[in-house]
Chain A
Amino acid sequence: MRAPRTLSSVAAGALLLTACSGGESVDTGGGGGGGGENVLVAAVSAQPDQLDPHVTSAYPSFQVLENVYDTLVVPNAEDLTMEPSLATGWETSEDGLTWTFTLRDDVTFHDGSEFDAADVVYSYNRIIDEQLNNAYRFATVESVEAVDPQTVEIRVTQPTPNLPALIGGFKGMAILPEGAADQVDLTTEAIGTGPFQLESSDAGSTVLTAYEDYWGGAPTVDGVEFRYITEPAAALTALQNGEVDWTDNIPPQQVSALESEEGVELQSIPSVDYWYMTMNYDRPPFDNRDVRRAVATAVDRAAVTEAARFEAAQPNQTAIPEDNFYASDYAPFDTNQDAARQLLEQSGVPLPIEMGLMVTDEFPETVTAAQVIASQLEPIGINVNVETLDFATWLDREAQGDFDAFMLGWLGNIDPFDYYHAQHITDGSSNYQGYSNPEVDRLLNEAATETDEDARRDLYNQAVQLIVDDVSYLYLYNPNVVQAWTPGLTGYQIRPDKAINFETVELP
């Protein structure tokens, strides 16, 4: 959770809330492919909480906004390296402190106005000046200026090699037309440059129509309708009987059976999310490195993964999935209860140890995983009390440091900075466990400003070895993205960052 595009945020996310405009239809068109003839119907699990890209933090909102707005740069669909979008290219000055983005000159907003550098300056300054959700992404940004209508210059206070990922990682950094917030209510209306225009959004569904003047070429379908079907069994039924064409709300236990089923096309690929457990450094005996290492040695990641996600995940001892450029193959722990007992003995801590493991029903996989972890730690003398909380309470206790241990995930990571920095640097904004290692701090700070990719990877790999050895996080697994659609639907690409883009999709 923790990621901009996640449910996480969510709290919101997983829930739906409201929408706009007057009381309207949900229309789950009974029998045929719903909506009009050439409208794609997607079943998503929740309603967008609101549609202002700079304000919302909910994944259901970004599922919609991905198709409506653009950013200067975007992650490539395969490996998530940053590519041109509204910017055709960019250059960095010798000292790494000035970034110059060249903009496309053939882009119009949905209201017909032309896109230029002033819109970029307005959008970024709106986030910075009003301290909106993603202001943290501009932490090193000193100024954003329009050099001419086709050129934007961003000055930073220190080299920021991940700037493209920061401003293009997701549609929370969308470009709005200058003055948009004063002209329309962005919580319910949208003026983007993306392939689809927002037609309506209410408690039942969100409807988009194709934007014929889209700079990338008009989309193949006439529109997209997002219907909110929270219950996975109902969403799957709707897909199977043709009410909807696409869904990402699939009962996890049915994923492997569906892979071989004819009436449904299902894909499951590794995501950029990771799930982990961590222990409180301020609460004995978890401040004891041997105790933490004993836990890391006793936990069988494969069994936890299987219980939490069935087949659709890969166990991992570090955060970054294995096919990523920045992945580390460091995996020092072999599940071994005798070795774990030895470590506990060495720690000198009297047994049994009582450990409260805080999880949340907002993410049911944490509850299942915690039960498996509890059963694996009990034989070595650690009695785990699984505390299942609602997410709001969970977050409160995390923020107050009121826990022995907890399990959660970080979703939507693009750059290694997202995976490691704020979680492990001393007093980092996401370092709730209270980890502090000067060597890790040095490596993370150096990596954050290192512009050579290979050197940067080496720095992160050194840092992650210390993080894993100290068990700042006990990494568990990288889940898959699982999505299914109606057979014969083409032109859709499932992405590791769970961005959902229907620009080039074609209905059967």
Chain B
Amino acid sequence: MGGYLLRRVGQAAVVLVGVSVVVFGLLQLVPGDPIRLALGTRFSQETYDALLERSGLDQPVLQQYVTWAGNALTGDLGVSFRSGEPVTQLVLERLPATLTLAFASILVALLIAVPLGTLSALRPRSVVDRGATVLSQFGISVPDFWMAIVLILIFAGTLGWLPSGGYVPLTEDPLGWLQRLILPAIVTGVVSGSVITRFVRSSVLEVLGQDHVRTAQAKGMATRQVLGWHVLRNALLPLVTVTGVQLAYLLSGVVVVEIVFAWPGLGQLALQSVQARDYPVLQGAVLLFALVFLVINLVVDLLYSVIDPRIARR
């Protein structure tokens, strides 16, 4: 197990270096001049030259990368062109909001997907199954910004039950935290939940058809027990995988939903840094997203062996 972990961490490091090189290279190819964007439109050539020099963008690309990578190893991801603040601080500042929304969304998604997917699988082609299919198709295809605005208009506007957006830390105002979390978590949760429902359904259906389930039923085991012990447990593996992928996606920021709900997460930060060609921030954000994917993949793999001990033995 220790060797396995070490190997995985080593692989992750290689991936991270690869990602940073690719991102750095891509940024060189993208049109758009961060200096001009930072200066606005009225400025003199002298001002332009001065800022170019301060930003270090006048250095050769290779040297820029080496400098950046060296600093990154010590945890210094550079300073934002636009705000003049350290990238590490900008990213960390937005992490709590992103974590909150991601985990709340996954919770909503699972609350939708597990019951709905299981019911559909138990009664294929029934009204429940068809209803679930329609609902999940709806959840996948309805644009999230539309759903977000409709929910705001209904629950914040017409009914006035919930705030229209914003974020407060749990520690500051637990009720306000919850009130502000509900709508965005529903929007992202419905989208993820719709995807996961399809997986749960097919995975449960597959296990239901297997020999050991038929044996259990033939032994006269109660349906509830068969379901809990033999079916759901075996159907967990694909569920863990797809949930991990969804979580990683949510952690890298749900840009549109964050913007509509004024949710100060990483997605907004990444979008702004793209628009402003704020290379250090973009680089930092992408690196963090890569790290998130790697960690979640690792956790998912480790979970496999917990759920199915045979995997660990292999």
Q: Which residues on A are within 8 Å of B, measured CB to CB?
A: 1-4, 6, 8-12, 14-31, 49-50, 52, 55, 57-58, 130-133, 135-136, 139, 185, 187-188, 202-204, 227-231, 233-234, 237-238, 240-241, 243, 362, 390-393, 395-397, 399, 410, 422, 429-430
Q: Taking A24-B169, A50-B82 as contacts, is the C-beta distance between A9 and B93 under 8 angstroms?
A: no
Within B22-48, the residues touching A (CB, 8 Å) are 30-34, 36-47
Taking a contact as CB atoms closer than 8 A, the residue among B41, B89, B273 that contacts A9 in the complex is B41
Do A31 and B160 have beta carbons less than 8 Å apart? Answer: yes
- Binary CB contact string for chain B from 83 to 110 against chain A (1 if under 8 A, 0 otherwise): 1110001101111110000000000000
Q: Is B234 an interface residue (CB 8 A)?
A: no
Q: Is B211 an interface residue (CB 8 A)?
A: no
Do B165 and A28 have beta carbons less than 8 Å apart? Answer: yes
Do B157 and A15 have beta carbons less than 8 Å apart? Answer: no
Q: Is B278 an interface residue (CB 8 A)?
A: yes
Taking a contact as CB atoms closer than 8 A, the residue among B41, B85, B262 that contacts A18 in the complex is B85
Q: Is B168 an interface residue (CB 8 A)?
A: yes
Residue total for B at the interface (Cβ-Cβ under 8 A)? 68
Q: How far is the CA of A292 from the CA of B160 in the complex (A)?
A: 54
Taking a contact as CB atoms closer than 8 A, the residue among B90, B180, B272 that contacts A15 in the complex is B272
Do A4 and B160 have beta carbons less than 8 Å apart? Answer: no
List of B residues within 8 angstroms of A27 by Cβ: 166-168, 173, 176
Q: How far is the CA of A390 from the CA of B263 in the complex (A)?
A: 23
Do A395 and B160 have beta carbons less than 8 Å apart? Answer: no
Distance from A140 Cβ to chain B, minimum over Cβ atoms (Å)? 12
Q: How far is the CA of A12 from the CA of B149 in the complex (A)?
A: 25
Do A17 and B276 have beta carbons less than 8 Å apart? Answer: yes
Do A4 and B166 have beta carbons less than 8 Å apart? Answer: no
Distance from B215 Cβ to chain A, minimum over Cβ atoms (Å)? 54
List of A residues within 8 angstroms of B259 by Cβ: 230-231
Taking a contact as CB atoms closer than 8 A, the residue among B37, B160, B167 that contacts A204 in the complex is B167
Q: Taking A17-B82, A187-B83, A230-B259 as contacts, is the C-beta distance between A131 and B40 under 8 angstroms?
A: no
Do A18 and B90 have beta carbons less than 8 Å apart? Answer: yes
Do B164 and A238 have beta carbons less than 8 Å apart? Answer: yes
Do B264 and A135 have beta carbons less than 8 Å apart? Answer: no
Do B37 and A395 have beta carbons less than 8 Å apart? Answer: yes
Do A49 and B95 have beta carbons less than 8 Å apart? Answer: no
A-B CB contact pairs (8 Å), 10 listed: A2-B40, A2-B41, A10-B37, A25-B169, A29-B176, A49-B276, A136-B43, A243-B163, A391-B275, A396-B32
Closest chain B residue, CB of each to CB of A187: B84
Among A19, A131, A422, chain B packs the most CB atoms within 10 A around the CB of A131
Do B271 and A15 have beta carbons less than 8 Å apart? Answer: yes
Q: Taking A27-B176, A204-B264, A395-B37 as contacts, is the C-beta distance between A12 and B82 under 8 angstroms?
A: yes
Do B264 and A227 have beta carbons less than 8 Å apart? Answer: no
Do A238 and B272 have beta carbons less than 8 Å apart? Answer: no
Q: Taking A18-B85, A227-B262, A391-B275 as contacts, is the C-beta distance between A26 and B37 under 8 angstroms?
A: no
Q: Taking A241-B160, A243-B163 as contacts, is the C-beta distance between A4 and B47 under 8 angstroms?
A: no
Taking a contact as CB atoms closer than 8 A, the residue among B49, B85, B179 that contacts A50 in the complex is B85
Within B265-302, the residues touching A (CB, 8 Å) are 268-269, 271-273, 275-278, 281
List of B residues within 8 angstroms of A20 by Cβ: 83, 85, 89, 93
Q: How far is the CA of A123 from the CA of B11 in the complex (A)?
A: 52
Q: How far is the CA of A397 from the CA of B259 in the complex (A)?
A: 28
Q: Taking A12-B82, A26-B167 as contacts, is the C-beta distance between A390 and B275 under 8 angstroms?
A: yes
Q: Taking A10-B37, A395-B32 as contacts, is the C-beta distance between A26 and B262 under 8 angstroms?
A: yes
Q: How far is the CA of A9 from the CA of B38 in the complex (A)?
A: 7
Q: Is B80 an interface residue (CB 8 A)?
A: yes
List of B residues within 8 angstroms of A237 by Cβ: 152-153, 156-157, 164
Q: Taking A17-B276, A52-B84, A395-B33 as contacts, is the C-beta distance between A234 and B40 under 8 angstroms?
A: no
Closest chain B residue, CB of each to CB of A185: B84
Closest chain B residue, CB of each to CB of A228: B262
Do B42 and A4 have beta carbons less than 8 Å apart? Answer: yes
Among B42, B82, B160, B168, chain A packs the most CB atoms within 10 A around the CB of B42
Taking a contact as CB atoms closer than 8 A, the residue among A25, A133, A422 that contacts B39 in the complex is A133
Q: Taking A20-B85, A23-B92, A241-B156 as contacts, is the C-beta distance between A57 and B169 under 8 angstroms?
A: no
Taking a contact as CB atoms closer than 8 A, the residue among A229, A391, A399 that contacts B164 in the complex is A229
Taking a contact as CB atoms closer than 8 A, the residue among B160, B165, B277 that contacts A229 in the complex is B165
Distance from B290 Cβ to chain A, minimum over Cβ atoms (Å)? 21
List of B residues within 8 angstroms of A25 by Cβ: 166-169, 172-173
Q: How far is the CA of A280 from the CA of B281 in the complex (A)?
A: 35
Do B80 and A30 have beta carbons less than 8 Å apart? Answer: no
Do B167 and A12 have beta carbons less than 8 Å apart? Answer: no
List of B residues within 8 angstroms of A233 by Cβ: 149, 152-153
Q: How far is the CA of A185 from the CA of B89 in the complex (A)?
A: 14
Distance from A237 Cβ to chain B, minimum over Cβ atoms (Å)? 5
Q: Is B50 an interface residue (CB 8 A)?
A: yes
Among A14, A185, A390, chain B packs the most CB atoms within 10 A around the CB of A390
Q: Is B12 an interface residue (CB 8 A)?
A: no
List of A residues within 8 angstroms of B164 by Cβ: 28, 229, 234, 237-238, 241, 243
List of B residues within 8 angstroms of A52 by Cβ: 84
Q: Taking A23-B97, A133-B43 as contacts, is the C-beta distance between A11 and B84 under 8 angstroms?
A: no
